[in-house]
Amino acid sequence: MTLVELQQGEKAYITKVRGIGAFRKRIMEMGFVAGREITVVRKAPLGDPIEYNILGYNVSLRNAEAQLVEVITVQDLKEHISNELPPETIPFVDEKFLENHARKKGKVINIAFVGNPNSGKTSLFNRASGMHERTGNYSGVTIESKEARFFMDGYQINVTDLPGTYSITAYSPEELYVRNYIQEKAPDIVVNVLDASNLERNLYLTTQLIDMDIRIVAALNMYDDMTKNGDSLNHEYLGKLLGMPLVPTVGSKGKGVEDLLKKIIDVYEGKDDTSRHIHISYGKAIELAITKIRETLARPENKHLTARISGRFLAIKLLEKDEEAWNKIELIPNAEEVKEIVHQQISIIEAFIKEDSETIITDAKYGFIAGAVKETYKPAKKRRIRKSDLIDIFFTHRLYAFPIFLLIMWAIFYLTFTLGAYPQEWIENGIALLGGAIDKGMTDNMFKDFLIDGILGGVGGVIVFLPNIVLLYFFISLLEDSGYMARAVFIMDKAMHRIGLHGKSFIPLIMGFGCNVPAIMSARIIESRRDRLITMLITPFMSCGARLPVYILFISAFFENYKGTILFAIYLTGILFAILTALFFKHAFFKKQDVPFVMELPPYRVPTGKSVFKHMWINSAAYIRKIGGVVLIATIIIWALGYFPRKQEFSIDYSTQIAQKETLASTATDPALEAEFLKEADFLRQQMKSEQQLNSYIGKIGRIITPVMTPLGFDWKMTCAIIAGIPAKEVVVGTLGVLFPPDINSSADQSISERIRNQVILSGPDKGKPLFTPLTAISFMLFILIYFPCIGVIATIKKESGRWKYALFEVGYTTVLAWIVSFAVYQLGSLVVG
Binding site for ligand GDP (CB under 6 A): 115, 117-123, 135-137, 164, 221-222, 224-225, 250-252
Could you tell me how many residues make up the chain? 834
Rounded to whole angstroms, the Cα distance separating 87 from 731 reads 88
- Residue 193 in contact with residue 120, Cβ under 8 Å? yes
Q: Among ligand GDP, Mg ion, none, what binds residue 117 when CB lies within 5 to 8 Å by partner kind?
A: ligand GDP
Q: Among Mg ion, ligand GDP, none, what binds residue 62 when CB lies within 5 to 8 Å by partner kind?
A: none
- Report the nearest approach of ligand GDP to the CB of residue 240 (Å): 23
Cis peptide before 49 (omega within 30 of 0): yes
- Report the nearest approach of Mg ion to the CB of residue 190 (Å): 16
Rounded to whole angstroms, the Cα distance separating 463 from 430 reads 11
- Report the nearest approach of ligand GDP to the CB of residue 126 (Å): 8
Question: Which x/- pattern over 90-129 shows residues binding Mg ion (rule: CB under 5 A)?
Answer: --------------------------------x-------
Rounded to whole angstroms, the Cα distance separating 203 from 212 reads 14
Q: Determine the residue type at 792.
A: G
- Residue 491 in contact with residue 402, Cβ under 8 Å? yes
692 counts as binding Mg ion under rule CB under 5 A: no
DSSP 164: P
Q: Among Mg ion, ligand GDP, none, what binds residue 251 when CB lies within 5 to 8 Å by partner kind?
A: ligand GDP
Indicate the burial class of 784 (C-beta count within 10 angstroms; 0-12, 13-18, 19 or more).
buried
**Which of residues 121 and 504 has its CB atom nearest to ligand GDP in the complex?**
121
Closest CA to 367 of 612, 608, 115, 599: 599
- Report the nearest approach of Mg ion to the CB of residue 143 (Å): 12
- Report the nearest approach of ligand GDP to the CB of residue 142 (Å): 13
Q: Among ligand GDP, Mg ion, none, what binds residue 123 when CB lies within 5 to 8 Å by partner kind?
A: ligand GDP
- Report the nearest approach of ligand GDP to the CB of residue 274 (Å): 22
- Residue 160 in contact with residue 113, Cβ under 8 Å? yes
- Report the nearest approach of ligand GDP to the CB of residue 227 (Å): 10
**Which of residues 146 and 717 has its CB atom nearest to ligand GDP in the complex?**
146
Could you tell me which residues are beta bridge partners of residue 189? Answer: 111
Q: Among Mg ion, ligand GDP, none, what binds residue 545 when CB lies within 5 to 8 Å by partner kind?
A: none
**Which of residues 6 and 217 has its CB atom nearest to ligand GDP in the complex?**
217
**Which of residues 225 and 682 has its CB atom nearest to ligand GDP in the complex?**
225
Rounded to whole angstroms, the Cα distance separating 62 from 51 reads 9
**Which of residues 139 and 710 has its CB atom nearest to ligand GDP in the complex?**
139
Q: Among ligand GDP, Mg ion, none, what binds residue 118 when CB lies within 5 to 8 Å by partner kind?
A: ligand GDP
Q: Among ligand GDP, Mg ion, none, what binds residue 76 when CB lies within 5 to 8 Å by partner kind?
A: none
- Residue 806 in contact with residue 796, Cβ under 8 Å? no
SS3 content of the chain, % helix, strand, coil (to 5): 65, 10, 25
Displacement of CA 121 from its chain's centroid (Å): 39
**Which of residues 250 and 794 has its CB atom nearest to ligand GDP in the complex?**
250
160 counts as binding Mg ion under rule CB under 5 A: no
Q: Which long-range contacts (CB under 8 A, 24 or more apart) does 510-513 make?
A: 510/409, 510/542, 511/472, 511/476, 512/539, 512/540, 512/541, 512/542, 512/543, 512/544, 513/413, 513/542, 513/543, 513/544, 513/545, 513/571
Closest-by-Cβ residue to Mg ion is 122
* Residue 577 Rama label (left phi>0; alpha psi -120 to 50; beta): alpha
- Residue 29 in contact with residue 58, Cβ under 8 Å? no
- Report the nearest approach of Mg ion to the CB of residue 165 (Å): 11
CA distances from 521 to 98, 295, 792 (A): 53, 22, 11
Q: Among Mg ion, ligand GDP, none, what binds residue 120 when CB lies within 5 to 8 Å by partner kind?
A: ligand GDP
Q: Determine the residue type at 169.
A: T
- Report the nearest approach of ligand GDP to the CB of residue 250 (Å): 4
Q: Among ligand GDP, Mg ion, none, what binds residue 689 when CB lies within 5 to 8 Å by partner kind?
A: none
Rounded to whole angstroms, the Cα distance separating 676 from 528 reads 65
Q: Determine the residue type at 664.
A: L
Q: Among Mg ion, ligand GDP, none, what binds residue 137 when CB lies within 5 to 8 Å by partner kind?
A: ligand GDP
**Which of residues 145 and 229 has its CB atom nearest to Mg ion in the complex?**
145
- Report the nearest approach of ligand GDP to the CB of residue 49 (Å): 42
**Which of residues 257 and 471 has its CB atom nearest to ligand GDP in the complex?**
257
**Which of residues 123 and 535 has its CB atom nearest to Mg ion in the complex?**
123
**Which of residues 223 and 623 has its CB atom nearest to ligand GDP in the complex?**
223
- Residue 32 in contact with residue 54, Cβ under 8 Å? yes
306 counts as binding Mg ion under rule CB under 5 A: no
Residues that bind Mg ion (CB under 5 A): 122
